[in-house]
Amino acid sequence: MTFKRTFHAVETHSGEPMRVITGGVPHIPGNTVYEQMKWLEENDDQIRMLMLREPRGYPPLCCNLVVPAKHPDAAAGYIIMEQVEYPVMSGGNTISVATVLLETGMIPMQEPVTEFQLEAPAGLIGIRAECSNGKVTSVTFRNVPAFAAHIEKVIDVPHLGKVTVDVGWGGMFYVIADVRQFKGLELKPEHGREITRVSALILKAAQEQLPVAHPHYPGYGITIAQLSGPTGNPNADWKNAVTVASGEIDFDNPATWTGAIDRCPCGTGTSAKMATLHAKGQLDLNQPFRHEGVLGTVFTGNLVEQAKIGDFEAVVPTISGRSWIYGYNTYVLDPDDPFVNGFTMGDIWA
């Protein structure tokens, strides 16, 4: 049988499910992975929709497309796809892509440590993978510079009232709010519905009230929310729940006050959090920062040097974490399938 499209993928998770497409995509034009990402967004967004919407996907799922690197110093490139956007960088996805490339042999593994660079849309990302018995046991990546765009700003959030937030860039723009502002709300899985409701409202209000601009990525605004708070875990310093949007948010439509919680501690979210803490004088360079996600897993970050991004004082983070392969799949689009872009339903989607 001839299918319209065929994709080969490796299924991974670091708590968060992260699919890595390793085959089936034709040549994508562009002189950099960033240009390839923009071409894909404008000319073949069907790949993102097919992979992330039902029946092949669901709200928390992320997806990565492995492409040949354009930069001469990179071993491979990758394009990141999420439910409502193409981020220029994602930490958990980077860890998953590195794990897949090594454990499938696409990049030769050297034990006990393999070092190489990947080309994300955001640029070169340094990888240091600890390996043992053919497995990747830890990945540390050197992220793009992170910075604080807004510190301790008070915004008016419909249905919630006044909320104090920070906004940080860690590869995406995050609006970050201390969860202790919301009585009775805790960062644990059983509070997931309320976490997503509060986060969606904060995200929409921040988008309207706190303008941001990245000198290198015009048009990228605040697209993701993070609730943050203390942890009772002796192996962590702080806890977070990042909510990824799964559709447009409308203050007048409660059905849209939702999203999907990142099941991992979130690499770019950790970077953004560290940048805001550093801007407040609460986190020094080379001070380990252990960030716990809602499932209890931990990413460890370090701010290794200072940098400058336009007019912003920035810091360069490294993030360490782990991902696991849980399956290999071939996805196809049947020529008679009426849902050529997948579909969503209001029971679990915004």
Per-residue pLDDT of 183-218, as tens digits, reads 999 999 999 999 999 999 999 999 999 999 999 998
Out of 14, 90, 96, 199, pick the active-site residue.
90
Domain with CATH 3.10.310.10 in the chain: 5-143+324-333, 146-318
Numbers of helices and strands, H then E, in the chain: 5, 17
The tokens for 297 are 């897993």
Give the span between the Cα atoms of 226 and 60, in whole angstroms.
15
State residue 321's pLDDT score: 98
SS3 99: helix
Out of 266, 271, 320, 323, pick the active-site residue.
266
Q: Once rounded to an integer, what is the mean pLDDT over residues 142-155?
A: 98
**pLDDT(124) > 80:** yes
Per-residue pLDDT of 84-95, as tens digits, reads 999 999 999 999
Residue 38, phi then psi, degrees to nearest 5: -65, -40
Give the span between the Cα atoms of 194 and 273, in whole angstroms.
21
Q: pLDDT averaged over the chain?
A: 97
**pLDDT(19) > 80:** yes
Contacts of residue 120, Cβ cutoff 8 Å, sequence gap at least 6: 33, 77, 78, 80, 88, 89, 94, 144
Tell me, yes or no, if 131 is annotated catalytic: no
State residue 18's pLDDT score: 97
What is the percent of the chain with per-residue pLDDT over 70, rounded to a whole number? 100
Rounded alpha-carbon distances, angstroms, from residue 314 to 174, 175, 230 = 15, 17, 24
Give the span between the Cα atoms of 256 and 127, in whole angstroms.
37
State residue 252's pLDDT score: 97
Per-residue pLDDT of 206-257, as tens digits, reads 999 999 999 999 899 999 999 999 999 999 999 999 999 999 999 999 999 9
Q: Are 112 and 100 in contact (CB under 8 A)?
A: no
Q: Once rounded to an integer, what is the mean pLDDT over residues 159-171?
A: 98
**pLDDT(350) > 90:** no
Residue with tokens 């989607």: 349
Task: Say if domain 146-318 classifies as CATH 3.40.80.10.
Answer: no
List, in sequence order, every residue forming a beta bridge with 224; answer none if it has no partner.
174, 244
Tell me, yes or no, if 132 is annotated catalytic: no
Transcribe 234-294 into DSSP letters.
Answer: TT-SEEEEEEE--S---TT-GGGS--EE-SS--HHHHHHHHHHHHHTTSS-TT--EEEE-T
Q: Specify the CATH number for 5-143+324-333; select among 3.65.10.10, 3.40.50.720, 2.40.10.500, 3.10.310.10.
A: 3.10.310.10
State residue 117's pLDDT score: 98
Give the span between the Cα atoms of 48 and 225, in whole angstroms.
22
Per-residue pLDDT of 318-346, as tens digits, reads 999 999 999 999 999 999 999 999 999 99
State residue 26's pLDDT score: 85
Give the span between the Cα atoms of 98 and 323, in whole angstroms.
9
State residue 296's pLDDT score: 95
**pLDDT(1) > 90:** no
